[in-house]
Amino acid sequence: MVVMKTKLLIFGITGDLSTRKLLPAIHRIVATEGYDDMEVIGVSRREVDVKALLAGALGTDEDAERFSIFSMDLANQEEYARLREYIALGDDEQLLVYLSVPPQAATQIVDFMGAAGLTSPNVKLLFEKPFGVDLTSAEEMIARTARYYDESQLYRIDHYLAKEMAQNIVALRGGNALFSHLWNNTAIEKIEVIAREKIDIEGRAQFYEQTGALRDIVQGHLMQLLALTLMDIPPQFDWDELPARRQEVLAHLRPADPAKARRAQYEGYREEVGNPKSRTETFVSVELTSDDPRWANIPLRLITGKALDKKSTEVRVHFRKIHEAQSNCLVFRIQPDEGVEIELFTKKPGYEREFEKRQLMFSYPEQTVLPDAYEQVLVDAIRSRKSLFTSSSEVVASWRVLQPLLSAWEMDDRTIQMYTKGEATHTICSVE
Ligand code: BG6
């Protein structure tokens, strides 16, 4: 595939995300995909020693000549004309602008870049979540960006969509008749999307206090995994249709019912964030329903929490029990231990005619290297492929579903349920 020469502009190049994920991802895609002519420009308020930055992030500074730093005051509109001159984008080049900065800063940068005329169709904007904090703010953000940029230029990153096993949900469903025949509410009884985290908020007190588990994980990551699980996969399916297909699923979800949601907080969280009255949830369980006839009347549960007993993200599809046969559960193991698992009932070896529960499993061979989600998003943005990115209408649809919970919780001054760090999900709320 022929791609234009890429100039990658990174706002927030010295930040945590950049040094942990972005710089290593750039290093690897240059090595594997051969984007030898890629230039990386880091934008920063202060002078940055590129060699030291790379050595810290990658353990080597050997690729330093690819990088340069443009120092500027991000809040000063006039400096964006200077930035534009520095980039000197040619017609046969593309500019990827990676906004690895908090949302308010990103919105302002987009305004200033737009006003400075950095808007030609060969400019692409890569946003990090959160995409707004509620329905209204998301709509405002989208409208502001639309003043200068077309939807085709926007690449909103939800790194869960880029996980290999998330993409594999689509491949397994589309590529295997076994699943296609059974993909409806006649055969399926309920679906659970569960993301357990062992880590706590890891010192991100300010961010987390304003965010909470619903906004941090459910609004993007879990809604997207649910959409991949429920979406229509027509014959001759084209991966570029993915955002539109996911959007259809989200549009069919009914607004969440606060009576069917639970939130909880781990003990010690309030001390950690220095707010003895905090009601920010570190655990959430939400039951949704769809008005799509194919999925009507079955519970769609999304569950996530921090400081739980283990790290595990999975989509659990529970099949209905029929006649004497037992019900089965199909599990897409998103991480860790990426793979698929089916709970089957088999004959227990021996003289009796008894059943026993066994697992049919698929895991990748040990030597398989699964590309990191950030490598996947960079490669796809360079190639103008949109399937791993969240469209504006998906963002709005997802907030619309969850808004009733945000509104109800804001008004609710009852004490929040507490759980001990390291607790199992099913002891906080029932999970199968
Ligand atoms: C991020 C959240 O989007 O995803 C974090 O902000 C969370 O709070 C992280 O820990 C989990 O990502 P992963 O890839 O480790 O499951």
Domains of the chain from N-terminus onward: 5-128 (3.40.50.720), 164-371+392-430 (3.30.360.10)
pLDDT tens for 59-117 read: 998 889 999 999 999 999 999 999 999 999 999 999 999 999 888 899 999 999 999 99
Q: Are 63 and 38 in contact (CB under 8 A)?
A: no
Distance between CA atoms of 152 and 163, rounded to whole angstroms?
A: 22
Can you give the pLDDT at residue 80? Answer: 97
pLDDT tens for 28-67 read: 999 888 888 999 999 998 889 999 999 999 999 888 999 9
Residue nearest to atom 8 of ligand 1 (CA): 216
- Counting ligand 1 atoms within 8 A of each CB, the residue from 204, 215, 216, 273 with the most, and so the one to mutate, is 216
- Could you tell me what percent of the chain has a pLDDT over 70? 98
Sheet containing 339-347: which strands, arranged edge to edge? 355-363, 339-347, 329-335, 312-319, 188-196, 300-305, 283-288, 261-266, 417-419
Q: Are 144 and 172 in contact (CB under 8 A)?
A: no
- The pLDDT of 183-212, averaged and rounded, is 95
CA of 160 to the centre of ligand 1 (A): 9
Q: Are 373 and 160 in contact (CB under 8 A)?
A: yes
Can you give the pLDDT at residue 413? Answer: 83
Distance between CA atoms of 173 and 176, rounded to whole angstroms?
A: 6
Can you give the pLDDT at residue 234? Answer: 86
| CA 390, 226, 425, 374 torsion-angle sign | negative
Distance between CA atoms of 99 and 64, rounded to whole angstroms?
A: 21
pLDDT tens for 249-285 read: 999 999 999 999 999 999 999 999 999 999 999 999 9
Residue 10, token pair as written in the block = 């990174």
Distance between CA atoms of 94 and 98, rounded to whole angstroms?
A: 13
Q: Residue 429's pLDDT band (boundaries 50, 70, 90)?
A: confident
Can you give the pLDDT at residue 70? Answer: 96
**Is 318 among the catalytic positions?**
no
Q: Residue 393's pLDDT band (boundaries 50, 70, 90)?
A: very high
- The pLDDT of 345-374, averaged and rounded, is 91
At residue 404, the 3 state secondary structure works out as helix
Distance between CA atoms of 127 and 154, rounded to whole angstroms?
A: 8
More confident residue, 4 or 162: 162
Average pLDDT, the chain: 94
- The pLDDT of 323-347, averaged and rounded, is 90
> What global pTM score does this model have?
0.94
Residue 275 DSSP one-character state: -
Can you give the pLDDT at residue 385? Answer: 95
CA of 217 to the centre of ligand 1 (A): 7
pLDDT tens for 118-164 read: 999 999 999 998 899 999 999 999 999 999 999 999 999 999 999 99
Distance between CA atoms of 64 and 60, rounded to whole angstroms?
A: 9
Q: Residue 2's pLDDT band (boundaries 50, 70, 90)?
A: low
Can you give the pLDDT at residue 1? Answer: 63
Residue 184 DSSP one-character state: S
Atom of ligand 1 nearest to the CA of 207: 6
- pLDDT at position 432 over 60: no
Residue nearest to atom 13 of ligand 1 (CA): 160
Residue 425, φ and ψ in degrees, nearest 5: -55, -45
DSSP class per residue in 114-163: HHTT--STTEEEEEESP--SSHHHHHHHHHHHHTT--GGGEEEE-TTTTS
Can you give the pLDDT at residue 227? Answer: 98
Q: Are 13 and 7 in contact (CB under 8 A)?
A: no
pLDDT tens for 276-290 read: 999 999 999 999 999
CA 89 to chain centre: 30
- pLDDT at position 358 over 60: yes
CA of 262 to the centre of ligand 1 (A): 20
